[in-house]
Chain A
Amino acid sequence: MADTALPAIDRPGPRQVLRAGPWLKLWPVLLVLLALATVPVVATAAGEPFLIRVFTRIVIFALAAAGLNLVLGFGGLVSLAHASLFGIGGYVVAILAQHEAEAEPFGFAPLLLSGTSDLMISVPLAVLASGLVAAAMGIVAIRTGGAYFIMITLAFNQMLYYFFVALQRYGGEDGLQILGSLHLAGLDVANRVHFYYACLVLLGLVLVATQRLVDSRFGMVLRATAQNERRVVAVGLAPLSYKLVAFALSGAIAGLAGALMAVGQQFISPVDMAWIRSGDLVVICVMGGLTVVVGPVIGAAVFLMLELVLSSYTSHWHLPFGIIVIGLAVVLRGGLADLPRRIAGKFGRGERP
């Protein structure tokens, strides 16, 4: 739809200085990671160990949202498929563990693999599987573009959701409990604090890599495509392949988050793949700010804290929460990242879109 007769409108992004101290841009990421690293210490000192569980959830959701933000914030693609990619990551870990527990090989007759509860094997496989599924989805979805993209990713999300609901072999609707003991090269993943730091390290790696990626030539093209695809085509680049690679990477990151979720709760179920969860991830990204790499982390913290606080007051917490989401859409055109520009616009500087 965007490539018809409508006049090209640039989506204004933040001012970026090319190649100005590439490592300097990492300080917000490092700051956020540092703050998160203090959580177990503070929680233990305050005698509130349940906070570690809460923040493990925050870190995992931040990771999934960081994956989504690669296409949503930087690529301008509103994907509602990420809950399913998240779920696939979780299911790969859970299914492999299940096969080991049952001592039954996995796969079809000529190609038999034994199951495993070694996370050094199953987590990379989970990442790979989610990335490949995302790539396959992307081939169909990205070609159509625009609003079709949103609806198609939504449809794909439900397709995978129903697939796992129907998969009686792996628990169907009830989900899959991980019975064996998962292990990760000498690390005790059952220990809450150890697991939290493992998740945090992975989040840190992904955020640093994302920051480097969006500042690279690849990221420049991706962001330029989100702002004005026709100009990118005019320059002689093929935006589709850039978007496809970004989508596959984004799916792989979501898969990593899903794998960690499955490890953390020793359980994965289709509920984690419902499209409402995809919507939650979009809300997280928007809350935190779309054009900054740490946005999803802030968004996840705000979202889950809000959920925690609201649900402690009322079991009908979705009502105030929904109103907040509507308010967010009405007031913040484009998320918190848009706020400085809007404030600048109020005082006469800059222009309102």
Chain B
Amino acid sequence: MTFALFAEQLLNGVQLGVMLFLMSAGLTLVFGIMNLINLAHGALYMLGAFIAAAVANASGSFLLGVLVAVPATGLIGAVLEMTLLRHFYARSHLDQVLVTFGLILVSNEVVKLIWGAVPLRFALPPMLDGAVEIFPGVAYPMFRLAILALGLVVAVALYLVIMKTRIGMWVRAGASDRAMAAALGVDVNRVFVLVFAAGSALAGLAGIMAGPILAVQVGMGEPILILALVVTVIGGIGSIKGAFIAALAIGLIDTFGRVLLSPALGSMAIFMAMAVILAWRPKGLFPVHG
């Protein structure tokens, strides 16, 4: 492996990692705090990509697409939480799997009804379309660098919000002991809506970033959902730090696994890593709950 290839794959891995982190942050908080398995998280990722692509295509402005789609997915998440998912916190995991599975079917079909079954065009903004030379002789697509930078900024911002603010304190309190947090006067309902909306918006953002690279199509949320679940499980459910470290690790393992191993083994690398980590630590690397 040459240095140029190594550097490129390293950047690809980290970039996949930050995108996975955006997905996993919401997933792990919703699970850690509300004890809800949200299989429909990938649907929000898909909706983010579709809304952004539709707005960008209609207005000609990529930025406008992003500015509309992120709050829109947050709002959709909040509405889902308030109307439907709220009633499932105390239910069995089976009921949660069922209802979110139903949501996946519905959202895929709704997207198909609105935008059709063919992938949607989602062009890069001219500013980010192109490559830069990061090292002498190593060119890297500008848009991927932008994703990387944006992902890291969001990760740092999320870390600061959760570690340094009052809302973050409530969230952490809720994640480690829900009943105690409620007893100490945290408005649990409001925190739940907030966390759900924020998680949905992050999933939407991840979808927007992935859209121009992968494809904006029905069902695009499901493969990334599985990866995000793997990250969540490895990191320890409810742990933001765990999600960040696991996301980077999974991003790198997946990227290098595909380059270094045979196709069949490369596509299994992250799952084998997961099996090894869980055999060693069944509650993930950074367990929040005991």
Please give the residue numbers on chain A whose beta carbons come within 8 Å of chain B beta carbons, in ascending order. Answer: 1, 4, 72, 78, 80, 139-140, 143-148, 150-152, 154-156, 158-159, 162-163, 165-168, 275-276, 279, 282-283, 286, 316, 318-319, 321-330, 333-334
Cα–Cα, bound, A156→B279 (Å): 14
B180-207 to A contact mask, C-beta < 8 Å, 1/0 = 0000000000000000000000000000
A325 with B105, Cβ < 8 A, contacts A158-B226, A330-B99 known: yes
State whether B237 touches A147 (Cβ < 8 A).
yes
Contact among A167, A324, A333 for B95, CB-based, below 8 A: A333
Residues of the A chain whose Cβ atoms lie less than 8 Å from the Cβ of B268: 159, 162-163
Interface size on B, residues (CB 8 A): 51
State whether B233 touches A151 (Cβ < 8 A).
yes
State whether A330 touches B87 (Cβ < 8 A).
yes
Residues of the A chain whose Cβ atoms lie less than 8 Å from the Cβ of B212: none
A152 with B278, Cβ < 8 A, contacts A162-B268, A166-B264, A276-B222 known: yes
The reply to whether the CB of B68 lies closer than 8 angstroms to some CB of chain A is no
A166 with B104, Cβ < 8 A, contacts A140-B278, A150-B37 known: no
Q: Which of B11-19, B47-55, B58-66, B108-116 contacts A (4 or more CB under 8 A)?
A: B108-116
A322 with B106, Cβ < 8 A, contacts A162-B267, A316-B113, A329-B88 known: yes
- The prevalent SS among residues of B at the interface is helix
The reply to whether the CB of B101 lies closer than 8 angstroms to some CB of chain A is yes
Shortest beta-carbon distance from A76 to chain B in Å: 8
The reply to whether the CB of B175 lies closer than 8 angstroms to some CB of chain A is no
Shortest beta-carbon distance from B80 to chain A in Å: 11
Of residues 254 to 285 in B, which have CB atoms within 8 Å of A's CB atoms?
A: 262-264, 266-268, 271-272, 274-275, 278-279, 282-283
Contact among A1, A78, A319 for B105, CB-based, below 8 A: A319
State whether B98 touches A286 (Cβ < 8 A).
yes
Shortest beta-carbon distance from B20 to chain A in Å: 13
State whether A319 touches B271 (Cβ < 8 A).
no
CB-based nearest A residue for B107: A322
State whether B229 touches A4 (Cβ < 8 A).
no
A166 with B263, Cβ < 8 A, contacts A4-B290, A152-B274, A282-B98 known: yes
Residues of the B chain whose Cβ atoms lie less than 8 Å from the Cβ of A154: 226, 229
State whether B112 touches A329 (Cβ < 8 A).
no
List 18 additional contacts besides A155-B274, A330-B84; criterion CB under 8 Å. A4-B289, A78-B94, A144-B283, A147-B35, A150-B37, A151-B233, A155-B233, A156-B271, A156-B275, A166-B266, A168-B263, A283-B101, A319-B106, A322-B104, A325-B102, A325-B105, A326-B106, A330-B99
Shortest beta-carbon distance from B246 to chain A in Å: 13
Cα–Cα, bound, A149→B60 (Å): 45
Contact among B35, B102, B226, B264 for A322, CB-based, below 8 A: B102
Shortest beta-carbon distance from A158 to chain B in Å: 5
Residues of the A chain whose Cβ atoms lie less than 8 Å from the Cβ of B37: 147, 150-151
CB-based nearest B residue for A140: B275
A148 with B112, Cβ < 8 A, contacts A78-B97, A283-B98, A318-B105 known: no
Of residues 226 to 242 in B, which have CB atoms within 8 Å of A's CB atoms?
A: 226, 229-230, 232-233, 237
State whether A148 touches B282 (Cβ < 8 A).
yes
State whether A144 touches B226 (Cβ < 8 A).
no
Residues of the A chain whose Cβ atoms lie less than 8 Å from the Cβ of B267: 159, 162-163, 165-166
Residues of the A chain whose Cβ atoms lie less than 8 Å from the Cβ of B278: 140, 143-144, 148, 152
Cα–Cα, bound, A270→B58 (Å): 37
Residues of the B chain whose Cβ atoms lie less than 8 Å from the Cβ of A326: 84, 98-99, 102-103, 106
Cα–Cα, bound, A285→B268 (Å): 29
Cα–Cα, bound, A44→B264 (Å): 46
CB-based nearest A residue for B230: A155
The reply to whether the CB of B31 lies closer than 8 angstroms to some CB of chain A is yes
Cα–Cα, bound, A158→B271 (Å): 9
Cα–Cα, bound, A138→B233 (Å): 16
CB-based nearest A residue for B258: A166
Cα–Cα, bound, A166→B266 (Å): 9
